[in-house]
Amino acid sequence: MVWINVILQGVLVGGLYAMFAAGLSLIFGVMRLVNIAHGDLIVLAAYLALVVTETLGIGPLASLILVVPLMALIGYALQRLVLNRTLGDDLLPPLLVTFGLSVIIQNGLLAVFTADSQKLHAGNLEVATVRLAEGVYVGALPLLQFIVAVAVIAALQFLFYRTPLGRAFRATADDPAVAQLMGLDNRHVFALAMAVSLAVVAIAGVFLAIRADFDPSQGPARLIFGFEAVIIGGLGSLWGTLAGGLILGVAQAIGAHLDPGWQVLAGHIAFLVILAIRPEGLFPKVRT
């Protein structure tokens, strides 16, 4: 029974990792941009939610109504004004620029909010539990977070394969030079992709901030979890990314149960094992 609980906890955390990863994967898929600042943007979203909740006196979940569009707007502007200029045949410039962005966000947050840990408070939701079976209880919050993660992945899947915007993403990912001759303005399409990515980041950031304390230095660790989930799942597959997040979460939960110090290590080991056995990930969507 203990193990069922452990694995369940892992699965539920995994949903959060999948959300970290989905935004990362989307950006890489559409414009071959590796966003090193992704983790810091998650933390930025958490601080944004902090400001919104404190200023307006609303709960963290309600704050999503403002934080999601705000982050999307930041994403659009960031891509249009900065990142579009770094794109080209070379993968290095976007890597360097987003690395710089990561440093800027971390230090900006440090300057404004100090290094003190912060947390978003969701009241009763944080301690409420749901009984799934005899002796198997899960927190309402992790459960909600998991359901939201699955919904987000499903929504992205729908967006990609069933909407005009999704087709624009796929066409541009396929061949940006031809796409622009079909009337697709790459700069605009890329900016929309970044907006969608940061909208997802906003949701992930708020849930992260309700779950645990956060401070300005936490971004890079979130980035690593996101990367690992993407690689485990296989590039280009959204459901694979969800699976990757779950595997990472379960590995960490098992590690933590064996010894609290092994939590993060166990996740990295699971990642390395899968990288060694299946370097293309578990559910790769091969592009030719």
Query: Which parts of this chain interact with other proteins (CB under 8 A)?
Result: 164, 167-168, 170-171, 173-175, 177-186, 287-288
The two beta strands, 136-139 and 129-133, are antiparallel
- State the nearest-atom distance from the C-beta of 194 to other proteins, in Å: 18
Rounded Cα gap, residues 247 and 253, in angstroms: 10
Nearer to other proteins, 81 or 127 (CB): 81
Nearer to other proteins, 193 or 266 (CB): 193
Nearer to other proteins, 55 or 163 (CB): 163
Nearer to other proteins, 93 or 176 (CB): 176
- State the nearest-atom distance from the C-beta of 37 to other proteins, in Å: 27
- State the nearest-atom distance from the C-beta of 229 to other proteins, in Å: 22
- State the nearest-atom distance from the C-beta of 98 to other proteins, in Å: 25
- State the nearest-atom distance from the C-beta of 163 to other proteins, in Å: 8
Nearer to other proteins, 121 or 167 (CB): 167
16 closest CA partner among 272, 207, 257: 207
284 closest CA partner among 228, 224, 225, 230: 230
